[in-house]
Amino acid sequence: MYLGPTFVKLGQVVASSPGIFPNWLTQPARRCLDEAPPFDSELVRATVEQDLGVRIEDAFISFEDIPLSAASIGQVHGCVLNDGRDAVVKVQRPGLRDQMTMDLKVLYLVARVANKTKWGRSANPMGMVSDVSQLTARELNPVIEAWNQQRFRDHLWSYGDNTMITVPEVYWDYCGPSTICMERVSGIPMDHFEEIRARGLDGELVLRRGAKAWAEAVMVHGPFHGDMHAGNIWVLDDGRGCFLDFGIMGELTPEWRQVMRDIYYTCVFDRDFTRVATAYRSVGVFPPELGTDEEIGAAMAMIVEPMLVMGMASVNLGELITSSVTLMKDFGGTPPQELMLVGKQLLYIERYVRELAPDYAIITDPFIVKNIFPEAAKELAAKENVTYPE
Ligand SMILES: Nc1ncnc2c1ncn2[C@@H]1O[C@H](COP(=O)(O)OP(=O)(O)O)[C@@H](O)[C@H]1O
Ligand SMILES: [Mg+2]
């Protein structure tokens, strides 16, 4: 079944509104929405030619008409640039924006009607349509996507390590309003668990490296990958991990990045939850009358500490974050939507951990924070006999 791309976006908004729609509905809906018939290769060529202002023959030595992948939003074609570099172009479906404008008008009318029902008054469908419009403007823009890819890549190696993680280089000379051209990589998606094992690749190692790079983006650099399903996270033939698809990104404010660092530090190193309470208060997630930081910290410790002591492997971080967002809302706070996105990525990471490295306790691995808290991580690594991989 193929519905318009607007409905894919609507699915995303629905999926990030916990408690309004059940998971069993949102998960399969997305998958079926993403399967679109490919568009004609003539149309792909015409779009690329118009974008680049040159003929395909002049810009490329070769151009594959059969797409490597096709989705409702666009498709990816392999090619070889005229200087010999192996590349792909990710081309947005022509007319996509016009179609989405039409879809949004329809959705808006539906939302206006729904708003008058009992369900509508609590679920706020008008707000959802407005969210979809904003997401559309931001996420369905190949120029912004390419820019996000470039930024994530630039930050990736800023500490001088993460050499076994990569992001395809953007070839800006071959990009246009609907076209992203980038380095071609070769590998398999992260959830091809059998094949990863069959190839003799160390899944746990790829995971540790990837999680570290991603955690640095969330807690330090800012722009982080917000769509880490297995199709977008690859293990390359040479063993490197690779992030693909920067269509959905999140970015916490500097204050919230500090909150994340405080939470991480507390859970891993000293369990002083007063720090977490102070951090939360500084971003205004609970009202002043709730109690002192010490009181709230003690309450948090009571809930979280047993989980930490019981063995970190059993702590479901993604669940912890997504449910704490709901909790904050109950307290009348205003946690950023971004936090939900962080939680969802952690759920993906945890799924890969379960399959590839069931005994790996990601939250206490000092390697993850070796750049963020170098001294404390070094001490813990020495105590626990953990060595840092490349
Ligand atoms: N740089 C690349 N090298 C090789 N294959 C790629 C590259 N980028 C994308 N692909 C292929 O295209 C698929 C879809 O790319 P992606 O950026 O995730 O697009 P979408 O936004 O449609 O999900 C990937 O899963 C992969 O198979
Ligand atoms: Mg993708």
Please report, in angstroms and rounded to a whole number, the separation of the first and last CA atoms in the chain: 45
Residue 304 has pLDDT above 70, yes or no: yes
Ligand 1 atom closest to the Cα of residue 189 is 25
CB neighbourhood size of 158 (10 A)? 12
Which range of 76-85, 138-147, 280-289 scores highest in mean pLDDT? It is: 76-85
- Indicate the average pLDDT of the chain: 86
Can you give the pLDDT at residue 255? 93
Residue range 212-246, pLDDT digits in tens: 999 999 999 999 999 999 999 999 999 999 999 99
- Residues 202, 352: Cα–Cα separation, whole Å: 13
Q: Which residue among 167, 240, 245, 246 has the greatest number of ligand 1 atoms within 8 angstroms of its CB, and so is best to mutate?
A: 245
3-state class of 200 per DSSP? coil
Residue 137: closest CA among 126, 147, 145: 145
Is the CB–ligand 1 distance for residue 124 below 6 Å?
A: no
Contacts 24+ apart (CB under 8 A), 147-150: 148/223, 148/246, 148/249, 149/180, 149/182, 149/246
Q: Which pTM does this prediction carry?
A: 0.87
Q: What percent of the chain has pLDDT over 70?
A: 89
Is the CB–ligand 1 distance for residue 71 below 6 Å?
A: yes
Can you give the pLDDT at residue 178? 95
Can you give the pLDDT at residue 157? 98
Residue 318 has pLDDT above 80, yes or no: no
Alpha helices in 74-117 (DSSP H): 96-114
Can you give the pLDDT at residue 35? 54
Q: Hey, where are the domains in the chain?
A: 5-36+95-139, 159-168+185-390
Ligand 1 atom closest to the Cα of residue 184 is 3
φ/ψ bin of 291: left (φ > 0), alpha (ψ from -120 to 50), beta (otherwise)? left
Residue 138 has pLDDT above 50, yes or no: yes
Q: Kindly indicate the confidence band of residue 31, based on its pLDDT and cuts at 50, 70 and 90.
A: very low
Residue of 339 and 164 predicted with greater confidence = 164
Residue range 258-279, pLDDT digits in tens: 999 998 899 889 889 999 889 9
Q: Kindly indicate the confidence band of residue 9, based on its pLDDT and cuts at 50, 70 and 90.
A: low
Ligand 1 atom closest to the Cα of residue 247 is 21
Residue range 109-122, pLDDT digits in tens: 888 888 888 877 77
Can you give the pLDDT at residue 14? 63
278-301: average pLDDT: 85
Can you give the pLDDT at residue 29? 43
Q: What percent of the chain has pLDDT over 90?
A: 54
Residue of 281 and 210 predicted with greater confidence = 210
190-200: average pLDDT: 95
Residue 44 has pLDDT above 70, yes or no: yes
- Residues 341, 335: Cα–Cα separation, whole Å: 12
185-206: average pLDDT: 95
Residue range 140-173, pLDDT digits in tens: 889 999 999 999 999 999 999 999 999 999 999 9
Q: In this structure, which residue's CA is closest to atom 1 in ligand 1?
A: 184
Can you give the pLDDT at residue 363? 79
Q: Kindly indicate the confidence band of residue 3, based on its pLDDT and cuts at 50, 70 and 90.
A: low
| 221-225, 302-306, 327-331: the lowest-pLDDT one | 327-331
Residue 296 has pLDDT above 70, yes or no: yes
Is the CB–ligand 1 distance for residue 227 below 6 Å?
A: no
